[in-house]
Every structure is written in C-alpha cells, then in structure tokens.
C-alpha cells in the first residue's frame, strides 16, 4: 500500500475521496481530487 498525497481543503482530512494519480514516487503517489463535486459542501 502507498500513500497518495494531494491538495485539498482541511475538512477532507480523514475522509475517503476519489483521486486521480498524477505521479508515482518511490514511496508514495501524488494525485488530485477526481472531480470538483467531491469538494462540494
């Protein structure tokens, strides 16, 4: 299992969200939230 790091609002900490992987690093993955609707209040 690898961690996925992505920018998001603090309220998403501890939540499950769909992400798109944009880069593979040696020990983690980088990505972005899959859709803007995932950020809606």
**pLDDT tens profile 21-40:** 999 999 899 999 998 665 55
- Dist. CA 19–CA 31, nearest whole Å: 6
pLDDT of residue 39: 59
What residues does each domain of the chain span?
3-34
Q: What is the pLDDT of residues 2-20, one digit of tens each?
A: 889 999 999 999 999 999 9
pLDDT surpasses 70 at 41: no
pLDDT of residue 1: 74
3 state SS of 14: coil
CA separation, residue 29 to residues 19, 20, 37 (Å): 11, 10, 22
- Dist. CA 4–CA 15, nearest whole Å: 13
Q: Which two tokens stand for residue 7?
A: 């920018």
């Amino acid at each position: 299992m690898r961690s996925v790091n992505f920018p998001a609002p603090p309220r998403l900490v501890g939540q499950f969200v769909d992400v798109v992987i944009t880069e593979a690093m040696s020990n983690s993955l980088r990505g972005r939230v899959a859709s803007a609707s995932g950020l809606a209040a």
